[in-house]
Amino acid sequence: MKFTEIGEYARLGLLVENPVEVSRAKRSEGELYARFRNGRRFLLRGGHSDLHTFRRVFLSDEYRLRKGPWDTVLDLGGNIGCVALRVARHARRVIVYEPDPLNLALLERNLSGLDNVEVVRGAVAGERGQRKLHVAASGRWGARSTLFHDVQAQRVNAADTEVEVAVTTLDALFEKHAIGRCDLLKIDVEGAEYEIFGAASRDTLARIERIVGEYHDVYPDDPRTRIAAFQSSLEQVGFRVETAPSRKFVNQGLFFAQRA
C-alpha cells in the first residue's frame, strides 16, 4: 500500500491488529485477514484491488461516511463489504446489492454475523429482468465487473467471463424492502448509475436523504451519461450536488448529493 500521508498508516494501526501485513497486501498473493481491533476478521485478496477499496473506505474516507445514526442505508455495488461494515454500527439496517459472484463470496463472509445487514445477490439498473454481467477475473485496479461489456472490452483478458444476473430497479427495490426513507445511499455500479436514477420515480427519489458514489465514463455520445447532465438531473429533484472529478480520467470521479 502506498500511503499518501503518514496519518493513513497511523489510522490503520488504530483500526487493525496487523497493520504491517495489511499494508503489504498489494504485493502479496493469496488471501489474508485484516484483524480489526474489535475482533472482526475481514478477508482481503492479496495482489488485488481489495486493498485499494479498503484504504479508500476506512483510511482516506473518500465517501465521506460521517457517523449516523441512520435508519436505512442502501449499498448498491457492495463489492467485498467495506462500506457496509463501516456503516453497520450506526444503522438500524443495511441493504447491500452485489452481482459479481467473486466479490459476493467475500462479501457474505466479511459481513457474516451482522444481523442488521441483508445481502442481496443481484444488480440494479434501469429495467427489471436479466442482464449479462462482464466479470473481470483479475480484480486488479482498472479491471471492473460491469453490465456494459462493450465499455469493458478494451480491458478484456482470456480469464474474464460473463454471467447472467437478475436486475431490478430502484423503484422495485424500495417496494421490496419497504423503504419509507433511505438516510444514505452509496452507489458504485460501474456506469449503471445514469440509468438507475434516470428510471427512478420522483416519489422514490424523494425518500432519499443523501447519496454518495462514483460516476463513470460510459457511452460518451449519450449526453445523459455526462456528469453535468447527471448532476443537473439530481438537482432538479431537490438535491445539492458536489463532484470530485478524477485527475486522470475524463467523466469519472465521486459525487455527493444531499437533500436540499
Q: Is the pLDDT of residue 160 over 60?
A: yes
Q: How far apart are CA 251 and CA 241, in angstroms?
A: 15
Q: Is the pLDDT of residue 153 over 50?
A: no
Q: How far apart are CA 202 and CA 219, in angstroms?
A: 25
Residue 251 φ/ψ, nearest 5 degrees: 55, 40
> What does the pLDDT read at residue 46?
85
Considering the entire predicted model, what is its pTM?
Answer: 0.92
| DSSP-assigned states of every residue in 173-239 | HHHHTT-S-BSEEEE--TTTHHHHHHHS-HHHHHTB-EEEEEE----TT-GGGSHHHHHHHHHTTTE
Q: Is the pLDDT of residue 194 over 80?
A: yes
* Higher per-residue pLDDT: 150 or 241: 241
When pLDDT is averaged across residues 204-228 and rounded to a whole number, the result is 96
> What does the pLDDT read at residue 139?
59
The residue behind cell 503489504 is: 24
When pLDDT is averaged across residues 198-212 and rounded to a whole number, the result is 98
> What does the pLDDT read at residue 138?
62
> What does the pLDDT read at residue 134?
86
Amino acid identity at 105:
A
* Cell numbers placing 141: 485496479
Nearest of 24, 10, 117 to residue 70 by alpha carbon: 117
Q: What is the end-to-end Cα distance of the chain in Å, rounded? A: 38
Nearest of 99, 105, 205 to residue 145 by alpha carbon: 99
What is the CB neighbour count within 10 angstroms for residue 164? 10
| DSSP single-letter state for residue 1 | -
Q: Is the pLDDT of residue 148 over 50?
A: yes
* Higher per-residue pLDDT: 111 or 134: 111
Residue 128: partners with Cβ closer than 8 Å, 6 or more residues away: 167, 168, 169, 172
Q: Is the pLDDT of residue 71 over 90?
A: yes
> What does the pLDDT read at residue 67?
80
* Higher per-residue pLDDT: 80 or 153: 80
Residue 236 φ/ψ, nearest 5 degrees: -70, -20
> What does the pLDDT read at residue 156?
52
Q: How far is CA 124 from CA 2, 21, 182, in A?
A: 33, 35, 16
- Domain 63-259: CATH architecture, name and number where available: 3-Layer(aba) Sandwich (3.40)
* Higher per-residue pLDDT: 260 or 235: 235
Amino acid identity at 107:
L
* Cell numbers placing 26: 498489494
Average pLDDT in the chain: 91
> What does the pLDDT read at residue 119?
98
| Percent residues over pLDDT 90 in the chain | 76
Residue 96 φ/ψ, nearest 5 degrees: -120, 130
Q: Are 131 and 147 in contact (CB under 8 A)?
A: yes
> What does the pLDDT read at residue 2?
53
Per-domain boundaries in the chain: 1-61, 63-259
Mind listing the pLDDT tens digit for each residue in 22-70? 988 777 778 999 999 999 999 999 888 899 899 999 999 999 998 889 9
- Using pLDDT thresholds of 50, 70 and 90, give the confidence band for residue 6: confident
